[in-house]
Amino acid sequence: MIFKATKPTTRPALRKVRTTPTLRPLHHRLDPQRVEEIPFHAPDGVRLGLTRIDTGERDRPAVLLLHGHTASADMFLLPEIRNLVDVLLDDGYEPWLLDWRGSCRLPYNATGQKYTYDDVALHDIPAAVSHIRSRIGDDRPLFAVAHCIGALTLSMSMAAGLVPGLAGVVAQGVFLTPKLAGRTSLRMSLASELLKSRLDHIPVDFRTVGLRSKYTPLFALASRKADCPDPTCQILHHSAWGTGASLFVHEHLTETTHNRLAELLGPAPLWILPHLRRIELARTVVRWHDTDHRYAALPANALDAAGRIDTPLLLLTGSDNGLWLDSQQLCRDVLARRHPHLDVTCTEIPGYGHLDTFLGRGAALDVFGHILDFLAERR
Ligand SMILES: [Zn+2]
């Protein structure tokens, strides 16, 4: 309802450039001795986060977890539920968590160096896969489980042939064929106004915004017809940073998770919208940097290069995904037609939305079993 494609404003946005970003500490209930935080930079020098959960066993298959944009590795570690890392550890896997540059544990969504999804597909994900490979060797299987934009950018890395040899990939919500809800579809008239007013991101934590700020109209808009009185929930739940999409099924979150939403989902950068808009119009993951030779390793269109994918795929989605609708079913159908040799399964989780497939109180029962079954068949 608000987004419309917009050319980047000619007026410079106000940005504080931080050259030494530090990662916000992870929030988990694991033994700290088992959590190895690896100093990790992308090949273009951007500081990222990479975390390995050490089990003391050297023969476990590794699973790389990729969060969605504005979320972080924390989304797989919620102490208040039986989370995906718990389930993977109990089932004999070694979890690795990447905080790519869109993580809210890092500052880039609000300050510092701007980026596009090209940077994530070209630099962040391949560098993480390469590092993990260097640690585990070539014999141990390496899987990836990716959520939302983490899955979308992974699809580009895979189509570019930059992460060959993965044992299997689970993509939640979206993969190669993003299809946004109509009212969501980035009609960014307000966003363009915000850009003109020299804003470059939308915050979610009303406590840090204040009652009378430039963001107040956005929160007021999100509060209309909202059932929940919490302003952070309002800007996320049925607003998704002002896009009008639904991010999760409200009753699936525990009260603790609900109270942590501002920590789990950070500010959304407005300057990423032109790339997202181009992707949405193409209904596939397309490269932003058309003429910059530094990005030539990425195909112009990931779907057209999907023949390079050499990995079994599980496309997961909630039946009530209010952001990406039936993108995964579309992806399954398109891949079946174009690349019938690919091993593609699409699984719909009844009654689930988008983020609650990982953050939900019942996700271990309702969702993670599908992931474990897929991994078990291919480990
Ligand atoms: Zn709420």
Residue ranges making up the domain that contains 342: 32-182+273-378
DSSP label at residue 286:
B
How far is Cα 27 from Cα 30, in angstroms, rounded to an integer? Answer: 9
How far is Cα 107 from Cα 272, in angstroms, rounded to an integer? Answer: 15
Give me ligand 1 centre to Cα 375, in Å.
33
Give me ligand 1 centre to Cα 190, in Å.
24
Report the predicted TM-score, pTM, of the whole model to 2 decimal places: 0.91
Give me ligand 1 centre to Cα 146, in Å.
25
Q: Is residue 255 part of a domain?
A: no
Give me ligand 1 centre to Cα 360, in Å.
13
Q: Is residue 62 part of a domain?
A: yes
Q: What is the 3-state secondary structure (H, E, C) of 213-263?
A: CCCHHHHHHHHCCCCCCCHHHHHHCCCCCCCCCCCCCHHHCCHHHHHCHHH
Give me ligand 1 centre to Cα 220, in Å.
15
CATH number at residue 115: 3.40.50.1820
The answer to whether the beta carbons of residues 229 and 304 sit under 8 Å apart is no
**How many structural domains compose the chain?**
1
DSSP β-bridge partners for residue 347: 316
H-state helical runs in the chain: 84-90, 117-119, 125-136, 149-159, 189-196, 206-209, 216-223, 231-236, 255-259, 261-264, 273-282, 327-338, 356-359, 363-366, 368-378
pLDDT at 229: 87
Helix 125-136 / helix 149-159 crossing angle, nearest 10 deg: 80
Q: Is residue 203 part of a domain?
A: no
The DSSP element (H or E) to which 32 belongs, if any, is none
Per cent of the chain over pLDDT 90 is 72
DSSP β-bridge partners for residue 98: 50, 66
Give me ligand 1 centre to Cα 165, in Å.
41
pLDDT tens digits for the chain (379 residues)? Answer: 444 444 444 444 445 544 468 899 999 999 999 999 999 999 999 999 999 999 999 999 999 999 999 999 999 999 999 999 999 999 999 999 999 999 999 999 998 789 999 999 999 999 999 999 999 999 999 999 999 999 999 999 999 999 999 999 999 999 999 998 766 655 544 555 565 566 778 777 767 766 667 677 777 777 777 789 888 888 888 777 777 788 999 999 999 999 999 999 998 898 898 899 899 889 999 999 999 999 999 999 999 999 999 899 999 999 999 999 999 999 999 999 999 999 999 999 999 999 999 999 999 999 999 999 999 999 9
Give me ligand 1 centre to Cα 251, in Å.
9
Q: Is residue 332 part of a domain?
A: yes
Give me ligand 1 centre to Cα 334, in Å.
36
Q: At 363, phi and psi to the nearest 5?
A: -60, -35
Q: Is residue 187 part of a domain?
A: no
- What are the E-state strand segments in 100-184? 142-147, 168-172
Give me ligand 1 centre to Cα 4, in Å.
27
Q: Is residue 42 part of a domain?
A: yes
Query: How many angstroms from the chain centroid is the CA of residue 95?
Result: 17
Give me ligand 1 centre to Cα 230, in Å.
6
How far is Cα 96 from Cα 89, in angstroms, rounded to an integer? Answer: 11
Q: Is residue 309 part of a domain?
A: yes
What the block records as the tokens of 85 is: 């890392």
How far is Cα 23 from Cα 119, in angstroms, rounded to an integer? Answer: 19
- Lookup result for tokens 């880039």: 108
pLDDT at 14: 46
DSSP label at residue 98:
E
What the block records as the tokens of 62 is: 């590794």
DSSP β-bridge partners for residue 313: 169, 344
Cα torsion 358, 361, 363, 364 to 10°: value is 120
pLDDT at 11: 44
pLDDT tens digit string along 312-332? Answer: 999 999 999 999 999 999 999
Give me ligand 1 centre to Cα 222, in Å.
12
Q: Is residue 150 part of a domain?
A: yes
